[in-house]
Amino acid sequence: MPRRCSVCDHASRDEVDRALVAGESFRDIAGRFAGLTPASIHRHRGTHLAAIVRKARDSEDAARAESVLDQVRSLHARTLRILAAAEAEGDASTALRALREARGGLVLLAKLLGELDEAPTVNVSLDSGWPALRTAILSALEPYPEARGAVAQALADGHAS
């Protein structure tokens, strides 16, 4: 039977870990938590704490990365709402500006996702999102042939660049 770690099994394990991370001495920590000895805390720090801290840091990075993505996503969603409103009002120039923003947002999202995955998926991500968006925009503009023509032209120009 493997020997259990009295710190890992301890009811106050999180507090012990925090005290270790804060740099408290083994003796002080052992004095504060019943059933622990300086030696058991020392062993726990050496064999278990590093992995715990590493895991916490990884998840923090992931959370930070997620929050950046969330911000870009929410900006993108706002742009799409502006675009929809502009289309509903037949405001072609605002629609065009929103369209450029939306395109920029998609490119940025694709870049972020590509970088986070560390794989060359930028074109795939962009291509899977863009045609659907383009189709939706052009069909939404059908009641406004003039705006639709201008948007289609802008899309063609933008896509070539």
**Residues at the interface with Zn ion (CB under 5 A):** 5, 7-8, 44, 48
CB of 25 or CB of 74, closer to Zn ion = 25
Burial of residue 150 (CB within 10 Å: 0-12, 13-18, 19+) is middle
Smallest distance, Zn ion to C-beta of residue 38, A: 14
Smallest distance, Zn ion to C-beta of residue 105, A: 46
Smallest distance, Zn ion to C-beta of residue 14, A: 12
In the bound state, the residue with its beta carbon closest to Zn ion is 5
Q: Retrieve residue 155's tokens.
A: 């899309």
Q: How many Cβ atoms from other residues are within 10 Å of residue 54's Cβ?
A: 10
CB of 48 or CB of 100, closer to Zn ion = 48
CB of 42 or CB of 73, closer to Zn ion = 42
Smallest distance, Zn ion to C-beta of residue 31, A: 18
The sign one gets for the Cα dihedral 77, 79, 80, 84 is positive
CB of 17 or CB of 87, closer to Zn ion = 17
The sign one gets for the Cα dihedral 135, 138, 143, 149 is negative
Write down how long the chain is: 161
